[in-house]
Amino acid sequence: MDKLEQVKFSLENNPNIAIANIYDIDRRNNPNMLLCTDLAQVVNFNVAPVNGFGINRYLAENLQLFMTGLISGLESDKKDNFEQEIIIFKEKEEEKQALLLKMGYLNFYEDFEMGFIQTILNIDKKKYEMSKKVNYIRKITINPFPSKEIADNYKYTPFIGHIKFKLDKL
């Protein structure tokens, strides 16, 4: 069983997890994208606890425990932890504080197919053909959210970086 199958099986068969969205972006049919990156497929799972965490649902420690218990028997290749920090901002000349929650995630990478990238360039009436044998890489990301409602409303955007929430706005 490859990593994608393991992740999908673990998430779908855990009664405590709600899968809000799965974004599957396959770049193998777009050679221009493959020239820029080794990632031929990106699969993102947005998940949340079915019953939430009650009043403590936005605590980084609770979300961290939830995230690290999502997939058993498979070590993530990269992990970013949940973090909290207090920020100070001004609103109508009044200084205020808010709690900022930086979301964590799990990444898994796997080689899953061999392929060729072929590029044809026409320069000064000369035709240049280049082809390269490549190992296609799949990136699987699990984004845990505090609630299914938030996970449902999050739209996947490649290269977005860290997801942060100002907690007084949730």
CA distance readout (Å), 38 to 30, 51, 93, 128, 144: 12, 38, 48, 22, 25
Q: In what order do the strands lie in the sheet with 39-49?
A: 17-26, 39-49, 126-144, 105-123, 78-80
pLDDT beyond 50 at 49 = yes
Average pLDDT, the chain: 82
Two tokens, residue 17: 């997890």
Range from 7-11, 87-91, 101-105 carrying the lowest mean pLDDT: 87-91
pLDDT reported for residue 77: 95
- DSSP three-state, residue 135: strand
Q: Which two tokens stand for residue 149?
A: 């409602």
- What is the pLDDT, as a whole number, of residue 170? 43
| Section 129-140 average pLDDT | 82
Q: Which residue has the higher pLDDT, 55 or 104?
A: 104
pLDDT of 37 strictly over 70: no
Of the listed ranges 6-20, 135-149, 156-170, the least confidently predicted one is 156-170
Structure confidence at residue 35 (pLDDT): 57
* Residue 107: both structure tokens together: 């990444």
Q: What pTM does this model have?
A: 0.78
Confidence of residue 169 (pLDDT cuts 50, 70, 90): very low
CB 142 within 8 A of CB 47: yes
Q: What percent of the chain has pLDDT over 90?
A: 35
Q: 41-45, 149-153, 164-168: lowest mean pLDDT where? A: 164-168
